[in-house]
Amino acid sequence: MRKFKQFFENEASGGIVLILCAALALIVANIPSLQAVYSSFLHHYIDLSIGSFKLIHLSVEHFVNDALMAIFFITVAIEIKHEMLHGHLSSFKQASFPFFGALGGMVVPICLYFMITFHDPQLIHGAAIPMATDIAFAIGVLSLLGKLVPPALKVFLLALAVIDDLGAIIIIALFYTSDLNMAYLGWGLASLILMFVLNRANVKAITPYALIALVTWYCFLNSGVHATIAGVLTGFLLPNRDINGRNPSNDVLNYFSPYVKWFIIPLFAFANSGVTLGDVSSVIMPNIHLVLAIFVGLFVGKPVGVFLFTYVASKLGITAKPQSMTWSMTFFVGIICGIGFTMSIFIVNLSFPGVTMEEKVHIDIARLSILGSSTIAAIVGLIFTGLNLKRHAKLNG
């Protein structure tokens, strides 16, 4: 029983469960007798109506990606806001070094992706795929090195990944929006204004925020703006201060975090990692540019971008590297930042809607490329970061 408790409390456990669910999806999708069951599960429709009014009509796959992931984005937004107000991003001095690392880790992968896919207008839509870092997975991998990791390095990776997620959220909001329904968008924005008013009025009860969040999510779902953006905005608009001894943001985060870690993200991985290898193998070569763009973006672009931008900014005197970190640590932890996984797969779903057969092929190849690239980045990053930290510890006695 004690070992189970230790596993669930370990920072690496979330990443392990994530890998297992992705592996399970790959196995199930490639066993003929289970393929139909897996497909039937993903395409089973969830219907929720109030009288004659149809509230929800979504397949399990879309419910996971559009509804459950909105909860994930609420927790991400709360964590980002907390870091900006009280944590590692609360001052320019603290935030500047990971900020430039995150900026490089977004810009360089996107540029490399463009350089490889510029000839194909359809593939260019996926340029944001290699820009994201999976916070839980990356922190989990680094935590496997235990006491070898200097606190400053862990803080750097956490802050970088948080800024990275914020960048991904902005990109999703700006570039992955379909035709707008202004009526639904108007009602959605009105509900957000109401939430802001409750925040400023120091309303501490969670129920009003929850009801408004549901209305906002429904309006965004039908507005053309991706429904998960409603989750992001809700997370930012929840009060992050003590109100009569309670902090609504902390209450929401503490309530949802276990569900996100042990249910929503693993289910997302299971629902989005089931690539039929037999179908994909025959089309990999005609789409090799997509495979290379994602791999080079995540595995090469991330460490190069993180190192290059922090180094140049440091030499220009704009920021300063923490004294307990070395430049080699910065580069090698940049490899770990190449673990895209959750957010990268999420962006795949937005980049290629899957309407045409070609888009469905792109989705499968992109998902498989992310799984492979993230796994390689995790293994290589763990090995080289570990060797570098051991060498650093030996030199400093």
First to last CA, the chain: 38
Q: What is the pLDDT of residue 356?
A: 78
Q: What is the pLDDT of residue 86?
A: 81
E-strand ranges in the chain read 45-50, 53-59
Q: What is the pLDDT of residue 149?
A: 87
CA distance 192 to 188: 6
% pLDDT > 70, the chain:
95
H helices of 144-244, in order, are 151-175, 182-200, 206-221, 228-237
Over 60: is that where the pLDDT of 1 sits?
Answer: no
Q: What is the mean pLDDT of residues 372-396?
A: 90
CA distance 280 to 78: 38
Q: What is the mean pLDDT of residues 287-300?
A: 95
Q: What is the pLDDT of residue 17?
A: 84
For 267-293, what is each residue's pLDDT tens digit? 998 998 888 887 777 788 888 999 999
CA distance 318 to 310: 9
If we measure between CA atoms, which residue out of 21, 19, 63, 17 comes closest to residue 41? 63
Q: What is the mean pLDDT of residues 308-330?
A: 92
Amino acid at 108: V
What string of H, E and C letters represents the secondary structure of 266-277? HHHHHHHCCCCH
Q: What is the pLDDT of residue 6?
A: 56
For 182-224, what is each residue's pLDDT tens digit? 899 999 999 999 999 999 998 888 999 999 999 999 999 898 8
Q: What is the pLDDT of residue 3?
A: 55
Over 80: is that where the pLDDT of 4 sits?
Answer: no
Q: What is the pLDDT of residue 38?
A: 93
Q: Which two tokens stand for residue 119?
A: 């000839």
State the average pLDDT for the chain: 88
- At 8 the three-state DSSP class reads helix
If we measure between CA atoms, which residue out of 219, 145, 207 comes closest to residue 181? 219
CA distance 221 to 178: 11
Q: What is the mean pLDDT of residues 28-52?
A: 88
Q: Which two tokens stand for residue 323?
A: 């004294």
CA distance 20 to 310: 34
Name the pTM for this structure. 0.84
Domains of the chain by residue range: 1-177+226-396
Q: What is the pLDDT of residue 336?
A: 94
For 103-130, what is each residue's pLDDT tens digit? 999 999 999 999 999 998 889 989 999 9
Amino acid at 155: V
Over 90: is that where the pLDDT of 9 sits?
Answer: no
Over 80: is that where the pLDDT of 227 sits?
Answer: yes
- At 44 the three-state DSSP class reads coil
CA distance 335 to 14: 19
Domain over 1-177+226-396 is classified CATH 1.20.1530.10: yes
Q: What is the mean pLDDT of residues 64-80?
A: 90
